[in-house]
Structure 1
Amino acid sequence: MAGTFGATSTTDDVLEGVNLSGKRILVTGVSAGLGVETARTLAAHGALVVGAARDLSKAKAATEQVRAQAAKEGGLELVQLDLASLASVRACVDALVSAGKPFDLVIANAGVMACPKSQTSDGFETQFGTNHLGHFVFVNRIASLLKPGARLVNLSSSGHRFADVDLDDPNFERTPYTEFGAYGRSKTANILFAVEFDRRHKANGVRATAVHPGVIQTELGRHLQPEVLQQLIDQINAANSAAGEPAFSWKTIPQGAATSVWAGVVAAAEKVGGLYCEDCHVAEITDADDSLRGVRAYALDPDHAKALWARSEEMVGERF
């Protein structure tokens, strides 16, 4: 469990020799990509995985490999969760809390990226509403089910560098909307949520962290036009060249899910709590425009995290 891992490490590399029998782990977004791979490797190492998805039929088909590869002690249970609907979030939570079965780890993996301007069923800008507010309500409402020693892993992105959160205009009512600006806001919010959740719960032995999985070809990028994607890759290569780093290369899905698993299971809790991780290590703070690595200082600011928490409570009409 104390091995050295990096950008090319896979989920199976990270969990080699790890027995998760008796662990109960919740993963959101198990109908495709990283969520399916995360569930697969955890179940294969003995964990009982509760997989949440908006479309249960799609998730059931996508997770056949999870059930097929699950260890004797492991398994998968699916629950319906639409993060773009607080009614759905609350219904899912009510069922989980009623069942009363605690969790050792929650991986908030589900999300949307760079979609055209739209709103959730509750009237929130879709990316902020789904990626942040949906998980904000979901995680806080199941917090009572987190065992002492449990962890929360929020999937963020290096895309947090596109924008800080805007607490005065979170729904782009006055600000010109851009797909990546909205995505950046939501991914910054994912980090800040982990920072404040960690502060509030670490005295009870529950820690939280945020992770960047890397750049992977999954359904998350379905709204991107090929020419826009190529422009992004060109920008990444220009930045890498300026920083003396290698040219861009895609991560595989098992490589992309590795940091989530590493931060949730393998890394020492006190080393990752309240921080942002990438490539299976804790990222350094940087404000360099030509670097795609590291985390922006505004995403880890504790006062900023408290302010986002308060604004989020106001938006969802619920205090935690």
Structure 2
Amino acid sequence: MAGPFGAQSTTDEVLAGVDLSGKRILVTGASAGLGVETARALAAHGAQVVGAARDLDKARTATEEVRAQAANGGGLELVELDLASLASVRACAAALVAAGKPFDLVIANAGVMATPFGKTADGFETQFGTNHLGHFVLVNRIASLLQPGSRLVNLSSAGHRFSDVDLEDPNFGHTPYAEFVAYGRSKTANVLFAVEFDRRHKAGGVRATAVHPGGIRTELGRYMTPEVTEQLISSINAAAQSAGTEAFSWKTIPQGAATSVWAGVVAPADLVGGRYCEDCHVAAIEADPAVRGGVQPYALDPERARALWAKSEEMVGERF
């Protein structure tokens, strides 16, 4: 059943009565927050979860509850993945392909937010390189493991509304750097990647979607001071008041991970394929920047999605 679920729904509520026995699912960022909760919920319903993490020691400690709650044949294995290093990404993908075990679902959950200006091991701006390009290479390199009926879920954010992608200057070589502009670019890229991946693979029965988990207190906000967080929420609430919409409220981690599992295993594939989801439903297209919900039209633009794909291939030096 695809619903009715909403902003307050949790992973366990969304997956009530769902048997994932025999399903194999890859979750990136399985060492904290949403990644751990997503893995826990899926394994508790019988899925074999492969959790990817940069720090395996941290991930082993963080996922003790995942293994404890695994049921109906569910389980967890961990693999090393540093999305800020294409060498690590390619090594991880190569190992998964060599193992030859297909995936029913890939949840591209890992990411960073509002980091100071920096570069990945390959010279990409940190947020675009980690959030988008790392997943772009990983997913495309393991695409042969996605069989008909499989799905890709990219974690985006309402932060995509901060900025469209900049295909002329993706690394801020000429543009003044701003943390949330960079974050917005990377989160828009997550949606556009899902749009184009869906277009390329849906004839073969593989679908892709993007989701906004909501505002959750996790390690993702490690670079934000309390003052910056308060200013951001104040600006969101001011816009909400002028638009006549609800004020911002935090979600719990199980509520935040609910849309990922809803879009991945509960919602009909044709409903979510090529779309952007939030609060366990497909979001409306909303161009008004004063409205917090919905998805900006540029994030679903198919021509923009094709252009980003081509630019991403150029940047990573690989054609898919």
Instruction: Give TM-score, length-normalised by structure 1.
Output: 0.99
Q: Where does residue 287 of structure 1 map in the other structure?
A: 287
Q: Where does residue 251 of structure 1 map in the other structure?
A: 251
The aligned amino acid for 1:229 is T
SS of the residue corresponding to residue 257 of structure 1 reads helix
Matches within 5 A, 1:164-313: 164-313=164-313
Q: Where does residue 145 of structure 2 map in the other structure?
A: 145
Identity of aligned residues (%): 79
Q: Where does residue 15 of structure 1 map in the other structure?
A: 15
Q: Where does residue 60 of structure 1 map in the other structure?
A: 60
5+ unaligned residues in a row in structure 2: which ranges? none
The aligned amino acid for 1:53 is A
Question: How much has 1:247 moved relative to structure 2?
Answer: 2.0
Distance 2:187 2:247 in 1: 24
1:45-91 residue CA offsets vs partner (Å, 9 max, x unmatched): 00000000000000000000000000031000000000000000000
Distance 2:246 2:175 in 1: 36
Stretch deviating more after TM superposition (236-245 or 297-306): 236-245
- Alignment check: 8 A CA contact 2:191 2:276 kept: yes
1:108-138 residue CA offsets vs partner (Å, 9 max, x unmatched): 0000000000000000000000000000000
Distance 1:68 1:242 in 2: 47
Question: How much has 1:279 moved relative to structure 2?
Answer: 0.3
Q: Where does residue 103 of structure 2 map in the other structure?
A: 103
The aligned amino acid for 1:233 is I
Instruction: Give TM-score, length-normalised by structure 2.
Output: 0.99
Question: How much has 1:248 moved relative to structure 2?
Answer: 1.6
Q: Where does residue 130 of structure 1 map in the other structure?
A: 130
Distance 2:15 2:168 in 1: 42
Distance 1:314 1:286 in 2: 31
Question: How much has 1:242 moved relative to structure 2?
Answer: 1.6
Question: How much has 1:255 moved relative to structure 2?
Answer: 0.2
Distance 2:307 2:166 in 1: 11
Question: How much has 1:37 moved relative to structure 2?
Answer: 0.2
Stretch deviating more after TM superposition (233-242 or 63-72): 233-242
1:241-272 residue CA offsets vs partner (Å, 9 max, x unmatched): 12222222100000000000000000000010
Question: How much has 1:202 moved relative to structure 2?
Answer: 0.1
Distance 1:113 1:192 in 2: 18
Is 2:55 the counterpart of 1:86?
A: no
SS of the residue corresponding to residue 210 of structure 2 reads strand
1:158-200 residue CA offsets vs partner (Å, 9 max, x unmatched): 0001110000100000000000000000000000000000000
Runs of 4+ aligned structure 1 residues displaced above 4 Å come to: none
Root-mean-square deviation (Å): 0.6
Question: How much has 1:240 moved relative to structure 2?
Answer: 1.6
The aligned amino acid for 2:9 is S
- Alignment check: 8 A CA contact 2:245 2:291 kept: no
Distance 1:268 1:2 in 2: 7
SS of the residue corresponding to residue 79 of structure 1 reads strand
SS of the residue corresponding to residue 311 of structure 1 reads helix
Stretch deviating more after TM superposition (33-42 or 242-251): 242-251
Stretch deviating more after TM superposition (171-180 or 243-252): 243-252
Number of residue pairs the alignment of both structures matches: 320
Matches within 5 A, 1:308-319: 308-319=308-319
SS of the residue corresponding to residue 303 of structure 1 reads helix
